[in-house]
Structure 1
Amino acid sequence: MILRRYLTSQVATTTALVLGFLVVMLLGGRLIRYFGIAAEGGLNVGVLFSLIGYNLPYFLELILPLSFFISLMLVFGRLYSDHEMAVINASGISRSQLGRLLIPLGLLLAIAEGWVSFVAKPWGMYRASNIWQEQSMAQVFDLIRPKQFISSGNYHLYVGEIGQRRESLGDVIIVQMAKNQADNRSLTDKSAKKDTLIFAKSATQTLLDNGQIQLNLYQGRRYEIDPASRQYSQVGFDSYRMTLTAPKADESKQLRIEAVSTPALIEVIRGTLDRNRNEAMAELGYRASMPWLMVLALMMALPLSYTRPRQGRWLKLIPAIFIYVASVLVVISLKDSITKGKLPVGSYAVAMVLLTAFALYLNYHERWVARIRLNRKKPDGN
C-alpha cells in the first residue's frame, strides 16, 4: 500500500510537471502567432486568451499520453539509477507487479483522455471556430471603403459614404447571390434560385453575440431577380433588417471534422447528416484510439526504462520517446488513410492489437528467451 501511494504520487506529480511544460511550450508558440495576427489587425486582442483556452483540449489530446509516458520513464529510470529497483525486486516485487500498482492511475488518465477526445476537443474547436467567424466578419466591416465593393461569402456590399466611427453608412447597395439563399431549401424551390439586389439610402450596423452582423437599412428598395427568366419583383421599404452571415443550421458541413461533436459524427455515419462518411469514421476511430495510448504508455515504459548499473537514467529516455511517438504517429497516419478510403476503419483495431503485442514483447521477450535457452540446455529424456 505504501509503495503504491509512493509510485502514484511520484508519477502523478511528474506527469503534471511535464504536462505543464509541454502546454506552456506549445501554447506559447500559438500565442506568439496570434499576437502577430493581432498586430496586423486581423484579430481582436481581447479574444486572444479565449482562443488559447478553447484550443487547449486540442493540444491536451496528444500531449497528455506523452506526458504520462515521459513521467513513467523518469520515475522508473530514477528507481534503476538509484538502485531502488534492485531493493524492490529483492523484496519479492517484480517489475510487472509495479506496473499493476499504477493501473488505477492509468485508468483515471485514460478516462480523462477519453473525455478530452470525445467531448472537450470538439467543444473547444467549435467555440474557437465561432470566434474566428466573428473576427472575420468584423474584419469585413473594417475593410469598408467609400465607393468600393467588398465581398463576404455570397454577399457583395457597396457603400457610398461612411459616417463617423462607422456607426452609419450611406448609399448602400447589397447583392446577395442565389446559392446563399438556397441554404436548407430544395433546389426545386424557385424562390431559392433568385438573386437579391437591395438599394438603401442609409444603414446602421450591429455585431451580434452569435457572430452575425445585422444591418438596419432605411428608405430603399429590394429586388428579387431570376437569372434564368430575367423576371424580377420589387418592393419598397422604409426600414429593413437583414444579417450578412449564413444561418447556423448547416454548420456541420462547414466545420472542421475535429470540431464536430461525437453525436454528430455518429449521425454522419448513419447517413442522417450530409458529410463525408469516411472522414467521420476516421475521426471517431481516432478519438476512440486515444485513451488506449495511456495503456500503451504504461506497458511500454516499464521495459524501456530498464537500465543497467552505471548506465544513467537518461540513457534510454530519448530512444524510448522516439519509440512511443512512432506508435502515436501510426494512429495519426491511419486517420488520413481512412478518410481517403485507402483503409477500412477497422485498421484502428488492428493497429491497437499490433502495438499491444509489441508492448507485450518488450515486457516478456527476455523471459521467453531465457526459457528457450533453458529448454535447450536440458539433456534429452529429462
Structure 2
Amino acid sequence: MIVFRYLNREVLRSFAGILTVLMLIFLSQRLVTYLGEAAGGELSGLVVLKLVALYLPVLFSLLLPLTLFLAILLALGRLYVEHEMTVLRACGVGENDVLRHLLKPVLAMTAFTAALTLYVMPMALEYQYQVLDQQAAESELSLLAPGRFQEGQDKHSVLYVEAFGEQNSLGGVFFASMPQAAGDSTGILASRGGYHWQDERDGQRFLVLENGYRYEMQPGSKKWTVVKYDKYFMKLQPRSVSEIRRKAKALSSVELLMDLKPENIAELQWRLAVPLQMPILALLAIPLCRVRPREGKFARILPGLLIFLGYTMLLMMARSSLEEGKLAGWIGLWPVHLLALALGVILLRQREIRRAPLAKLS
C-alpha cells in the first residue's frame, strides 16, 4: 500500500501542476478576448468578471481528461527513467497492478467530471447567456468610458462624456443624432455636465443635461435652430431583450432527454464522452509510459498527444455527423470509445503478444 500511495501521490502532483498551467493559459486567452470586447464598448467591467467566473467550470471540465492523461505519462515516465518501475516489477508489481490501483482516483475524477459536464457546465452556460442578455438590455451609460465616443444602440447617434464625477455625475457631455429617415433633422446636444436620474414611479431612466445648448438643422437647409437650456431630459430607451433559442449546450441534461432530436442527442453523448475519456485515456497512458532511461520522461509526450488528438478529433467528427443526422443515435460516439479501448488493451498487452507463441495467441 505504501508503493501505491506513492504512485498515486506522484500522479496527483503532476495532475495539479499541469492543470494549473493549462488553466492559466486558456483563462488568460479568454480574458484577453473579453477585455478586447470591453475596450470596444461591448461589455462592462463587471460583466467581464462574471463571464470569466462562469467560464471556469466549462474550462475545468474540458481540461480534466487531457490533464489526467499527461499527468500519468509524466509521473510514470519518470519512474521508468529512474528505474523505479524495473524495481517494482522485480518485486512483483506489474503494470496491471499499477493500473488497478490508479483506477480508484481515476474513477473518482471521472465521477467529478461527469457531474461537471452533465449539471454544472450547462448551468454555467445558461447563466452566461443571462448575463449577456442583461448586458444587452442595459443602457449605453453602463458601457461608457470617459474620453471615448460611444455609438448608440440605434447606430445613428453618438455619445461622448469627458469625465465622470461622484454619484453618477457626468462632465462635458456631447450627443449627436443623425437622421434615420427622410425628413428627420440632425440634432446636437452639448452641456457642461449632467447626471443619471431614474423615475421611482415607473422606473424610467433619464440622462439629465445641465447648462447647455441644443443645435438642430433640417436636411437641405442652411439654418440652424439653437436652444439654450438649464436642464434637458433625455429618455433612455433600454435595449429590448428578445427571447432567443438557446443552443443545445446551454440546455440541462433533463431537457435534452425530453427532446431527443439529433442535435440534443449529440450534445448529450458529448457530455458523457468527456468523463468516459478519462478511464480510457488512463488505460492508454500506462503502456505509453514505457521509455528507456536514455530517452527521458518526455519521450512519449508527443506520441501521447497525437493519440489524444486523434481520439478527440474522431469524437468531434462523430458528433458532427450525429448532429447532421448522418449517424444513427444508437450508434453515436460509442464506436470511437470502443476503438480507443481496444487500442489501449493492445498496447497494454504488447509485450505478451510479442513473446507468446503463435499457437498460444490463436
Q: Distance in 1 between matches of 2:87 and 2:123?
A: 48
Q: 2:205 aligns to what SS in structure 1?
A: strand
> Is the Cα–Cα contact under 8 Å of residues 249 and 267 in structure 2 kept in the other structure?
yes
Show the counterpart of 2:345: 360
For 1:37-48, what aligned pairs fall within 5 Å after superposition? 37-48=37-48
> Is the Cα–Cα contact under 8 Å of residues 136 and 241 in structure 2 kept in the other structure?
no
For 1:133-152, what aligned pairs fall within 5 Å after superposition? 133-138=133-138, 143=152, 145=157
Deviations 1:215-236 (A, max 9, x none): xxxxxxxxxxxxxxxxxxxxxx
Q: 1:347 aligns to what SS in structure 2?
A: coil
Scaled by the length of structure 2, the TM-score of the pair is 0.73
Equivalent position to 1:344, from 328, 333, 342: 328
For 1:227-306, what aligned pairs fall within 5 Å after superposition? 245-246=240-241, 254-269=245-260, 277-306=261-290
The one-letter code sitting in structure 1 at the alignment partner of 2:55 is N
2:60 corresponds to 1:76: no
Show the counterpart of 2:222: none
In the superposition, relative to structure 1, how do residues 161 and 112 fare at CA in structure 2: closer, same or farther (>3 Å)? Answer: farther
> Is the Cα–Cα contact under 8 Å of residues 293 and 328 in structure 1 kept in the other structure?
no
C-alpha displacement of 1:373: 5.2
The one-letter code sitting in structure 2 at the alignment partner of 1:335 is R
Q: Distance in 2 between matches of 1:353 and 1:149?
A: 64
> Is the Cα–Cα contact under 8 Å of residues 38 and 44 in structure 1 kept in the other structure?
yes
Q: Distance in 1 between matches of 2:239 and 2:31?
A: 30
Scaled by the length of structure 1, the TM-score of the pair is 0.69
Deviation larger for 109-118 or 41-50: 41-50
RMSD: 2.9
Deviations 1:210-256 (A, max 9, x none): xxxxxxxxxxxxxxxxxxxxxxxxxxxxxxxx986457xxx6x6112
In the superposition, relative to structure 1, how do residues 286 and 359 fare at CA in structure 2: closer, same or farther (>3 Å)? Answer: same
Q: Distance in 2 between matches of 1:303 and 1:81?
A: 14
Q: Distance in 1 between matches of 2:241 and 2:297?
A: 57
Equivalent position to 1:325, from 296, 309, 314: 309
The one-letter code sitting in structure 2 at the alignment partner of 1:138 is E
In the superposition, relative to structure 1, how do residues 305 and 245 fare at CA in structure 2: closer, same or farther (>3 Å)? Answer: same
Q: Distance in 2 between matches of 1:55 and 1:131?
A: 12
Q: Distance in 1 between matches of 2:111 and 2:240?
A: 38
Report the count of equivalent residues. Answer: 291
> Is the Cα–Cα contact under 8 Å of residues 138 and 238 in structure 2 kept in the other structure?
no
The one-letter code sitting in structure 1 at the alignment partner of 2:136 is S
Show the counterpart of 1:112: 112
For 1:210-225, what aligned pairs fall within 5 Å after superposition? none
Percent identity between the two aligned chains: 25
Structure 2 unaligned regions, length at least 5: 142-149, 158-175, 181-186, 207-236
In the superposition, relative to structure 1, how do residues 149 and 374 fare at CA in structure 2: closer, same or farther (>3 Å)? Answer: farther
C-alpha displacement of 1:294: 0.6
C-alpha displacement of 1:354: 1.5
Q: Distance in 1 between matches of 2:248 and 2:139?
A: 25
Show the counterpart of 2:102: 102
Equivalent position to 1:370, from 335, 355, 359: 355
> Is the Cα–Cα contact under 8 Å of residues 114 and 288 in structure 1 kept in the other structure?
yes
